[in-house]
Chains A and B, each alone.
Chain A
């Protein structure tokens, strides 16, 4: 069985302390600066386009189950859903995991309710297509083509179907915004989508869109954690250069 070594524990504790510390600071009311992220800025524009064209938009949360990536994608879906509800635009949410279906339905219903448009909510727009990767991709491609969607959003964890979805969205002329932590799929989204949110920008989405102090604080904590990790790499490299692989630091930390 896998267990952490001392170094992993110390680094995790340092990152956790940094994140919780900045969340506490942000909740006290300190103003925090977040740089502009064009991909997230484009969400409003993409929803607006669908509204102007009177066509639906499509939001795919990827192939993940109920995990951190999908929860992050769902929080973006809720933001997009609220915008869509406000402007009276349909939002189609195809899901691949059965467990996600009630969650996505509840979430979109809440978005419509929050905007006072519960009467316009269409539960059939949240659909379970298939639990299989390429059957799901075929289903989404069919939906995009039949419904002639004006905008597509691909947020979540994607695998080989990423390019199939993005290229098909391009073919129907949709404005496409994508965000994924899957580094192998980012190049495909970059080529086929109008805007792509890459790397940790994906996890910054909810903070950026809602400007909630807890989330903004966490975002700053992430940056401090990254600086700590870079410092750890530099210190480790110096020790390795100085004393070789079996250096003092490695021995102290248990390898």
Chain B
């Protein structure tokens, strides 16, 4: 019964999608203009009107969604997910300009492709809202540490100083690039904070990786079993094949012919390009099929578990 109900629902969604596709094909150029980002100067009232209009529209829509009963809300979410996913499916699987699908070559290319960038912008806008939430969360956690003088409270103080300084000089240098502070241009202050403090700190963290690789390699190469022995030997050959001294060891062997297979760099390349690559590709096949299965479950609202508990 549930399956029959789901099939009817998807048939409705598909009909809506086909109608939307037809609409897109007929009205693609005016729609494309409508979905293009509006660029305007700070003094242009139409620019601010468009922003205010969008905010009012989305706030109204979310307020309306909150008031709807749960089953209807879920149905709308399922439908929206299906239609959004269908856009990408049609965009990717329908042939583009000068392409053939079986024996079909569309005259005007794929009607969904020109809208791809605008759909991408919409996704970025939604993600942008959440950034504000993250800043609030971070500030709340550190404010609590400071107010209660928990151990390491000075780290929270450092966070606030860094956060305020970076935001202040970043925004200041963007909106008033010629302004000066403490005898220096604000863009220089921003440069000090970013190029001379942030970038080296980031590089320091990355460089720590080298030491961790050494300790991890030490543990990995302890030969306890036959498999570990094989791995150790293979790793030794691969490492030797990457360094001049390794290549020098077998440099007396010919470059061509059956004996060339015994040269260290040839063995190392064979291990990397045949044995290792085959295994990596096999793992990748499994990963990508898993990715496909999960995407399909999310697209058709069949997923269960976190966020997807409720049966539709």
Interface centre among A20, A99, A135, A229, by most B CB within 10 Å?
A99
Q: How distant is A110 from chain B, measured CB to nearest CB, in Å? A: 8
Q: Does B280 contact A (CB under 8 A)?
A: yes
Interface-forming stretch among B34-42, B257-265, B266-274, B286-294? B286-294
Chain A hits for B292, CB < 8 A: 12, 15-16, 19, 225
Given A167-B212, A199-B286: A210 in contact with B304 (beta carbons within 8 A): yes
Inter-chain CA distance A198–B293, complex, in Å, is 17
B194-212 interface mask toward A, CB cutoff 8 Å, 1 = contact, 0 = none? 0000000110011011001
Chain A hits for B248, CB < 8 A: none
| A3 & B110 in contact (Cβ 8 Å cutoff) | yes
Chain B hits for A74, CB < 8 A: 306-307
| B205 & A203 in contact (Cβ 8 Å cutoff) | no
| B209 & A160 in contact (Cβ 8 Å cutoff) | yes
| B216 & A16 in contact (Cβ 8 Å cutoff) | no
Chain A hits for B28, CB < 8 A: none
Q: Does B62 contact A (CB under 8 A)?
A: no
Q: Does A152 contact B (CB under 8 A)?
A: no
Interchain residue pairs A-B with the least CB separation, the first 8: A203-B290, A98-B134, A200-B286, A134-B205, A75-B305, A99-B130, A128-B134, A200-B290
Q: How distant is A50 from chain B, measured CB to nearest CB, in Å? A: 20
B204-230 interface mask toward A, CB cutoff 8 Å, 1 = contact, 0 = none? 011011001101110110000000000
| B95 & A124 in contact (Cβ 8 Å cutoff) | no
| A16 & B95 in contact (Cβ 8 Å cutoff) | no
| B206 & A212 in contact (Cβ 8 Å cutoff) | no
Q: Does A181 contact B (CB under 8 A)?
A: yes
Chain A hits for B152, CB < 8 A: 146
| A1 & B305 in contact (Cβ 8 Å cutoff) | no
Given A198-B283, A199-B286: A6 in contact with B304 (beta carbons within 8 A): no
Inter-chain CA distance A1–B113, complex, in Å, is 8
Chain A hits for B178, CB < 8 A: none
Inter-chain CA distance A77–B305, complex, in Å, is 10
Of the four ranges (under 10, 10 to 19, 20 to 34, 35 or more), the interface on chain B belongs to 35 or more
| A98 & B283 in contact (Cβ 8 Å cutoff) | no
Q: Does A107 contact B (CB under 8 A)?
A: yes
Q: How distant is B190 from chain A, measured CB to nearest CB, in Å? A: 17
Q: Does A39 contact B (CB under 8 A)?
A: no
Secondary structure dominating the interface of A: helix
Apart from the given pairs A68-B298, A102-B130, 16 other A-B contacts in the complex at a CB distance below 8 Å: A1-B110, A8-B93, A9-B93, A15-B292, A74-B306, A99-B131, A101-B134, A102-B133, A135-B201, A164-B208, A167-B216, A192-B216, A200-B283, A206-B305, A222-B286, A225-B292
Query: Residues of B at under 8 Å CB distance from A?
Result: 2-3, 92-96, 99-102, 110, 113, 116, 126-127, 130-135, 137-138, 140-141, 144, 152, 201-202, 205-206, 208-209, 212-213, 215-217, 219-220, 280, 283-287, 289-298, 302-307
Q: How distant is A201 from chain B, measured CB to nearest CB, in Å? A: 8
Interface centre among B206, B286, B305, by most A CB within 10 Å?
B305
Inter-chain CA distance A240–B217, complex, in Å, is 41
Residue of B nearest to A225 (CB): B289
Inter-chain CA distance A24–B300, complex, in Å, is 13
Chain A hits for B285, CB < 8 A: 226, 229
Given A107-B307, A128-B137: A3 in contact with B293 (beta carbons within 8 A): no
Interface-forming stretch among A41-49, A51-59, A213-221, A242-250? A213-221
Chain B hits for A200, CB < 8 A: 283, 286-287, 289-290
